[in-house]
Amino acid sequence: MMRRCLFPIVAGGLVALGAYQATLLATPYALMQAALKKIGNRGPENQFAFSSMTTAANQTIVRPSPDLAYAACAFDVSKGPVLVDVQPVPDHYWSVSIFDARTDVAAVRSDRDTKGKAARLALVNAGQTAPAGYEPVRVGYDRGLVLIRILVAPASTFPTIDAIRRKSTCKQL
Amino acid sequence: MKTWHRFAACIALGLVGGAAFAVHQVRGGLSDGMVEIGPWETGKSFGTVDANALTRAKVALSGLLALPAKEAMYFTATRDSDGRKLNGRCTYVVRGGKLDGRWWSITLYEGEGWLVKNAANRWSIPASAVATDTQGRWSFTVSPNAQSGSWLPTGSVDAFDLTLRLYHPAADIIKNPEKAQLPIIDRKGCA
């Protein structure tokens, strides 16, 4: 009896290990796809969508910060590099981060890195090159997300910050 | 039972069991298996290619789009400083000192990381909202009821967590997060 059950049990154990690992590996892709779809619903691909300040009533992504103004661009470099120009907001923390389809960070640049100047990034895949004047950021997957964070403190500064951040662009070359 | 029946049953059980165990582990919370500092927990590899598959999946579920430590560190507390689960019907005083970074805020979440509806429309306490004494010490109250001074409402939810964001943390904290001096969460009473 034991011998007849041994091989099926071993096979089941191996399949369980595989299913466990496959589920872990698939989870970030699936959640990023869902996020890209949500952001895609708010604006075209390769273009920033500028969110209002996050409240309990308008949460799109898990664990948002109500102190930050966000702008998000769902990018796709399959048809060419995507250029990201981030307008600096003086005297406020701001950063731009590039997330790939696996949720890993391909690059982060903040006002500390640029010394308060604009960030100019070119998202490129393995076969593409960045145009002059842009820092190349090689992404492992064609699709992903660009996210700008700007600290809004005090809250009354939001209109001023909003006007500045809307000068930032995300566009296909 | 025929041989192929046994194989089919075991493989089906393996598929369902393996996937279910993975989901259970991923849903087990953001903080499992990470660095503990009092009631706070954090990870060293959020958002980086160094993260293992389980950490990456957990962060994607409970903190999608988290930044790597050189830019920001995230410390999450699901319990008070005496180890009791944070309860939205209780009142807490959060006390701390200077945090070694450029800017910080503490945000209250429920579930997998959602802001809680509350009448005051307040979901976080940023560094700029607390009064500090000459030694740099500060405090605020977390409570379902309005409080004098800085107050973070719980919305009376069953359970919540607090996430401390520290932007541009000092190199020492990035290297040794377990040595960070983080706030105390002191429970005062429950309704």
Q: How high is the pLDDT of residue B103? A: 94
- Cross-chain residue pair B67–A99, CB shorter than 8 Å: no
Over chain B, what HEC string results?
A: CCHHHHHHHHHHHHHHHHHHHHHHHHCCCCCCCCEEECCEEECCCCCCCCCCHHHHHHHHHHCCCCCCCCCEEEEEECECCCCCECCCCEEEEEEECCCCEEEEEEEEEECCCEECCCCCCCCEEEHHHCCCCCCCCEEEEEECCCCCCCEEECCCCCCCEEEEEEEEECHHHHHCHHHCCCCEEEEEEEC
Q: Which residues partner with B105 through β-bridges? A: B126, B165
Is residue B92 within 8 A of residue B130, CB to CB? The reply is no
pLDDT tens track for B17-35: 877 777 777 776 544 457 8
Give the model confidence (pLDDT) of A40-66 as tens digits.
666 788 999 998 999 999 998 888 999
Interface check B120 vs A, CB under 8 A? no
Give the integer Cα–Cα distance in Å for A44 and A70.
16
Q: What confidence score (pLDDT) does residue B50 get?
A: 64
Calpha distance B77→B60 (Å, rounded) = 18
Do A19 and B117 lie within an 8 Å CB cutoff? Answer: no
State how far residue A52 is from chain B, nearest Cα, in angstroms.
Answer: 15
Condensed to tens digits (0 to 9), the pLDDT of residues A126-162 reads: 989 999 999 999 998 999 999 999 999 888 999 999 9
pLDDT in tens, B123-182: 999 999 999 999 999 999 999 999 998 999 999 999 999 999 999 999 999 999 999 999
Least confident of A17-31, A72-86, B69-83, B176-190: A17-31
pLDDT at B126: 94
Supply the pLDDT for residue B55: 77
pLDDT at B119 over 80: yes
Minimum CA–CA partner of A14 in chain B: B14
